[in-house]
Structure 1
């Protein structure tokens, strides 16, 4: 069992997510959503996201991906809320899915490379009904 846990930690380390690093943008119907991910360093990745909707204040959040006792963990830091962890349920060289079934919405956070782009999404239930949001980001700057 310990060998399986160690193997999972090696396979699902932030270094395996280098394909996410860089600055990305998505524009649709006047809404601009941006994410920037720093390249993995010291067992962690840090990211920042910003959404601008016409006529509304910008919404920003900070994200980290770290290896925790529960496994590879994406933690969202949203203004006015406690940090929310999502643990990887799947990870391979071009995609990662994180889940927190106890969270209100979303319950899943997903990233994958789609060609030169970065595809991302959140999914879950709201009032018992499925809800999903997806973004196809184009690269605006590589990571350092």
Structure 2
């Protein structure tokens, strides 16, 4: 019974429409951008790019799909095998994905922050908690 209740508390891709759009975060000269397509056919696709001054841009591709294990966020980072994170129950307006066997991060978090999109990664590195968080603002349309 608890498993059924937990599964019911996890959103489907269609419930994550608030993530759709292009988002940007700028801090200390570092520009991070994410773009999420609206849900379609039980899936969402996203792309992220981080630009640090004097370094090559870092890009990744992400998906959120309904899998047998549950709603799954999969990160496709260049040079690494795809890494799945399965949704765990979270508050409305939030999506928390977890993979406790991954080195870092072990959790990927998205939540609504008013008009903004808050995101974060969390976990443990060398026995110490580590977290990175971003507050994205909606990007203006390209000119």
Shared fold, TM over 0.5: yes
- State the match for 1:21 in structure 2: 20
Q: Matches of 1:11 and 1:81 in 2, distance apart?
A: 27
Cα distance change, pair 22–135 in 1 and its aligned pair in 2 (3 A):
same
Q: How many residues align?
A: 140
> CA-atom RMSD, angstroms?
1.9
The residue correspondences of 1:102-141 to structure 2 (distance < 5 A) are: 102-141=101-140
- Listed as ranges, the gaps of 5+ residues in structure 1 are none
Q: Matches of 1:118 and 1:48 in 2, distance apart?
A: 15
Q: CA deviation at 1:4?
A: 2.1
Q: Matches of 1:91 and 1:38 in 2, distance apart?
A: 22
Query: Given that residues 121 and 135 in structure 1 are in contact (C-alpha distance below 8 angstroms), is that contact kept between their aligned partners in structure 2?
Result: yes
**Consecutive aligned runs of 4 or more in structure 1 exceeding 3 Å deviation:** none
- State the match for 1:65 in structure 2: 64
- SS of aligned partner of 2:81: coil
> Structure 2-normalised TM-score?
0.92
Query: Given that residues 104 and 123 in structure 2 are in contact (C-alpha distance below 8 angstroms), is that contact kept between their aligned partners in structure 1?
Result: yes
Q: CA deviation at 1:30?
A: 0.1
Q: Matches of 1:20 and 1:43 in 2, distance apart?
A: 14
Cα distance change, pair 107–11 in 1 and its aligned pair in 2 (3 A):
closer
- Listed as ranges, the gaps of 5+ residues in structure 2 are none
Q: CA deviation at 1:8?
A: 2.7
- For residues 64-120 of structure 1, what are the alpha-carbon distances to aligned partners after superposition, in whole Å with 9 as ceiling and x for unaligned? 000100000000000000000000012444101000000000000000000000000
1:86 aligns with 2:85: yes
Cα distance change, pair 45–141 in 1 and its aligned pair in 2 (3 A):
farther
Q: Matches of 1:25 and 1:115 in 2, distance apart?
A: 15
